[in-house]
Chain A
Amino acid sequence: MEKILEVKNLRVSFDTYSGEVQAVRGVEFDLNKGETLAIVGESGSGKSVTTKALMRLLPEPHGYIKDGQILFEGDDLAKKTPKQMQKIRGKDMSMIFQDPMTSLNPTMKVGAQIMEGLIKHQKMGKTQAKKRAIELLELVQIPNPHERINQYPHQFSGGMRQRVVIAIALACNPKVLIADEPTTALDVTIQAEILDLMKDIQKKTDTSIIFITHDLGVVANIADRVAVMYAGKIVEVGTVDDVFYNPKHPYTWGLLGSMPTLDSEEEELFAIPGTPPDLLHPPKGDAFAPRNKFALEIDFHEQPPMYPVPGSETHFAATWLLHEYAPEVEIPASVKRRMKDISKSSDSGEGEKQ
């Protein structure tokens, strides 16, 4: 598979009055052409900051890329000047933000906002850009595009606005589309429509998508691969089947376990105790160790490396439990039952070995 984006040892920090907050601490991943990679994690895990860094949208100078490379078709974006970035942003890479209410300009007609990028990047004339804008509105399934193009954002509903935002992002046929919680502000039925739309468009345009979300249901729906982030690091990455049917990191267990399944009869949800660490003073060992009841002694001293999961080429997890000397642990019953629940229909997951 062709890699379009390679992120290597990305570190992002913010300077604050109380010191340096290490929001992203050595993130590595690849994005293949035409695939959807979902990044999941709780608020503060660094998922949004990672994508902002990719787009070079950090509030510089207090938010900055401390180290690492962002190779876009072999070209390092971390070293580009703001001027050079302007040529890439919106053209090769574009972004959909969470809140469709605030990411559109309320004083500009919707059509003009879509045409902006076309005129700037594609050097189109006004009439040509307008024609393309109408095509784009058709692509995102907005009825009556000829009339809608002359309306203002407040005349659109939330779901329709998000479609407009998607149309803007797609205007210049970007190679990479970054969607930062694009459906979080929407109702479930509208969310389902937007997800279908994005999958549909991806089929037509072969765009690679990075999809940020905290909703594991959405991940299962849209993603080819998943990266689970915790405290500024990727703790587990693999195909959706790897991660959902054969999770290896205790944090992933916790995330999956804390969501009730629709046919579950559990008395109590498997909750992860405590709260995420303060990245102003990142812990010495594994950041998840204090909340992890499976933590080993070494977790408190040393950060685990990314281990390949035996039997899979796509699945990696950063936990000492995968070390050859690690003791066997019993996955919490509530999680295990869920895994079984979930995986009974699948033939791919080999299940838990114990």
Chain B
Amino acid sequence: MSEEKLLEIKDLKQYFKTGRHSVVKAVDGINFDIYKGETFGLVGESGCGKSTTGRTIIRLYNATDGEVLFKGENVQDRKSQTDLKKFNRQMQMIFQDPYSSLNPRMTVMDIIAEGIDVHGLAENENDRKDKVYELLETVGLEKQHATRYPHEFSGGQRQRLGIARALAVEPEFIIADEPISALDVSIQAQVVNLLKKLQKEKNLTYLFIAHDLSMVKYISDRIGVMYFGKMVELADSDELYKNPIHPYTKSLLSAIPLPDPDYERERIRHRYDPSQHDTSEEPEFREVRPRHWVLCTTKEFEAYKKELDNK
């Protein structure tokens, strides 16, 4: 993993108006960087803003405030069509639901080649076909599948189509928004293995959004934990699982059931009580250990540091 920053997210805010006077702060001022070639996992419970973060990064929403810098350029600024096109080619998305994210009236060939057409990547009809065939093989499907429609595929196969579509424009960065949540366990492993293989071959960078923490731990280099629109903890994935510091992260980790009956019998669950925090000042994102960040106040910062030192 290089130390070259591919993406910098600075104080990103995404508010939605839900009524004349009410505003939902889906994402409320988060900061993080994603390095080239790494997988950044974003976890949290439903409604914590993790999907919104992904969608704002790729500009499906216009951010309320803050900056998303992709290779140093602000994503949210882009105005002209040509610039947008150039940007879209570098960043792609894989969606959660393989049933609703593929147009049922298009053949696999057209679905996958849509990006190729938009960006004019194929020289002629034959080249276009070859490219699609190659992509199908890359994701473990076959040439003959190109003439079929999405309904002829199983969930796992459809997710492979979604991946092929994302790869078609040769992006550098892929946002995968719960790409395996809708799949069966045995199929999940297939798709995760495929994503890992592709990352190695094509030097891709992933933002992997999920709520299944054991899978996120497996695929990610670093993980950010979100709670109510804020990033509460960010660390290398091993560090996060071994030494969780923020009470919310602890409660989340202690709630995952593991396929181990003995462990389950002795499990101690931590409940998260937001009122336990020090409220004397606004919490800030601080580095308690190199590369390990926690949202905390000065007082908590000292306490957390002590806790880590004693481990």
Contacts and interface: CB of A to CB of B under 8 A. Distances in A.
Interface of A: 42-43, 187-192, 195-196, 214-221, 240-241, 244-245, 254-264, 266, 268-273, 275, 342, 345-346
B24 interface: no
B261 A241 contact: yes
**Central interface residue in A259, A266, A345, by most chain B CB within 10 Å:** A259
Given A259-B185, A262-B217, A217 B257 contact: yes
Contacts of A261: 214, 258-260
B255 interface: yes
A37 to B, nearest CB: 14
B106 interface: no
Given A189-B252, A254-B186, A345-B263, 9 more contacts: A42-B187, A187-B211, A189-B251, A217-B214, A220-B261, A221-B257, A244-B259, A255-B185, A258-B186
A275 B187 contact: yes
Interface in B269-300: 269, 272
B214 A259 contact: yes
B45 A187 contact: yes
Given A214-B185, A269-B189, A345 B262 contact: yes
A83 B62 CA distance: 58
Contacts of B189: 257-259, 269-272
Interface stretch (B15-23, B79-87, B111-119, B190-198): B190-198
Given A42-B185, A244-B259, A262-B241, A273 B46 contact: no
Contacts of A268: 193, 196
**Central interface residue in B189, B218, B259, B263, by most chain A CB within 10 Å:** B259
Given A269-B192, A275-B154, A191 B255 contact: yes
A275 B154 CA distance: 8
A255 B157 CA distance: 19
Nearest to B184: A42
A340 B262 CA distance: 13
Contacts of A189: 45, 251-252, 255, 272
A272 B258 CA distance: 20
Nearest to B46: A187
A192 to B, nearest CB: 4
A218 B257 contact: yes
**Central interface residue in A42, A196, A258, A268, by most chain B CB within 10 Å:** A258
Interface residues of B, number: 39
Contacts, number: 115
Interface string B135-159: 0000000000000000000111100
**Central interface residue in B214, B255, B262, by most chain A CB within 10 Å:** B262
Nearest to B154: A275
B303 interface: no
Contacts of B186: 42, 254-255, 258, 271-272
B256 interface: yes
A192 B269 contact: yes
A215 B186 CA distance: 11
Given A240-B261, A269-B218, A188 B255 contact: yes
Nearest to B43: A188
B196 A258 contact: no
Contact of B257 (A43, A192, A254): A192
**Central interface residue in A190, A219, A275, by most chain B CB within 10 Å:** A275
B9 interface: no
B264 interface: yes
Closest 4 pairs between A and B when the two form their complex, measured CB to CB: A217-B257, A258-B189, A260-B218, A271-B189
B308 interface: no
B151 to A, nearest CB: 14
A262 B193 contact: no
A68 B13 CA distance: 59
Contacts of B258: 217, 220, 261-262
A124 B269 CA distance: 39
Given A187-B46, A188-B252, A192-B257, A220 B264 contact: yes
B237 to A, nearest CB: 10
B64 interface: no
Contacts of B272: 189
Contact of B185 (A221, A245, A258, A263): A258
Nearest to A267: B196
B156 A220 contact: no
A220 B258 CA distance: 7
B214 A262 contact: yes
28 contacts: A42-B186, A42-B187, A187-B45, A188-B211, A188-B255, A189-B45, A189-B251, A189-B255, A195-B257, A217-B256, A217-B257, A221-B267, A241-B262, A244-B259, A244-B261, A245-B261, A258-B186, A258-B189, A261-B214, A261-B259, A262-B256, A269-B193, A270-B189, A275-B154, A342-B260, A345-B260, A345-B262, A345-B263
B259 A220 contact: yes
Contacts of A43: 155, 184
A260 B220 CA distance: 12
B213 interface: yes
B263 A260 contact: no
A346 B186 CA distance: 26
B107 interface: no
Contacts of B218: 260, 264, 266, 269
A188 B193 contact: no
A255 B187 CA distance: 10
